[in-house]
């Protein structure tokens, strides 16, 4: 079967690299250090259960959800694994 210049498993290697990059980026964003008792943004108290569940937490649930939503909107489309990007 003719596959062009790509070697066997090249597509899977590309997928694996994308997943590894995403995991590395997610781990780098994990909070570190002691948890705060009050939110950095709105100064609302952070429940003890949240502080225990998420070590190093710095935001209350509402502020964290807002941050997550804004980051999701900013994230771009990963073109590395797109066949269309290889054709252009």
Q: Tell whether 64 is covered by a domain.
A: yes
Q: Tell whether 21 is covered by a domain.
A: no
Q: Tell whether 65 is covered by a domain.
A: yes
Q: Tell whether 44 is covered by a domain.
A: yes
What is the residue-level pLDDT of the chain in tens, covering all 88 positions? 555 676 778 888 999 999 999 999 988 888 788 999 999 999 999 999 999 988 899 999 999 999 989 887 766 655 555 555 555 5
| Residue range(s) defining the domain that contains residue 56 | 31-73
* Number of domains composing the chain: 1
Specify the DSSP class assigned to residue 7: P
Q: Tell whether 46 is covered by a domain.
A: yes
- Cβ contacts of residue 47 below 8 Å, gap of 6+? none
Q: Tell whether 2 is covered by a domain.
A: no
**Rounded to whole angstroms, how far apart are CA atoms 7 and 9?**
6
Nearest C-alpha neighbor of 14 from the set 88, 86, 74, 76: 86
């Amino acid at each position: 079967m003719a596959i062009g210049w790509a070697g066997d498993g090249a597509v899977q290697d590309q997928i694996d690299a994308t997943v590894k990059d995403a995991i590395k980026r997610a781990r780098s964003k994990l909070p570190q250090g002691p948890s705060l008792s009050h939110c950095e943004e709105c100064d609302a108290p952070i429940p003890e259960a949240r502080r225990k569940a998420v070590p190093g937490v710095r935001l209350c649930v509402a502020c964290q959800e807002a941050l997550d939503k804004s980051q999701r909107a900013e994230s771009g489309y990963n073109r590395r694994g797109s066949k269309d990007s290889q054709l252009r």
